[in-house]
Amino acid sequence: MHLEPQSYREEEFAERMFIYASRLYEKHRKPIVPIAVFSHRSKAAEPDSFRWKLPFK
């Protein structure tokens, strides 16, 4: 389990959570359950996913 407290809005938060979970999996080779606890009052929605596209031509 990876528990991440977040006290401010961060545009790259989903990407950072992905990187942390990936690194933990790589190190321990166990399933990782990432959990974010938001304590900020921002009315903007936090990103709930992270993805990137590979340019195929």
- Residue 31 within a domain: yes
Q: How confident is the model at residue 44, as a pLDDT?
A: 76
Tally of domains in the chain: 1
Model pTM?
A: 0.71
- Residue 28 within a domain: yes
Q: Report whether 41 contacts 9 (CB < 8 A).
A: no
Owning domain of residue 10: 2-38
Strand pairing category for 34-38 and 2-6: parallel
- The answer to whether residue 22 scores a pLDDT higher than 90 is yes
- Residue 44 within a domain: no
Banded pLDDT at 19 (limits 50, 70, 90): very high
- The answer to whether residue 54 scores a pLDDT higher than 90 is no
- Going by the DSSP 8-state scheme, the letter that residue 27 receives in this structure is H
| Residues contacting residue 5 through CB under 8 Å, at least 6 positions apart | 36, 37, 39
Q: Say how far apart CA 53 and CA 7 lie, in whole Å.
A: 29
- Residue 50 within a domain: no
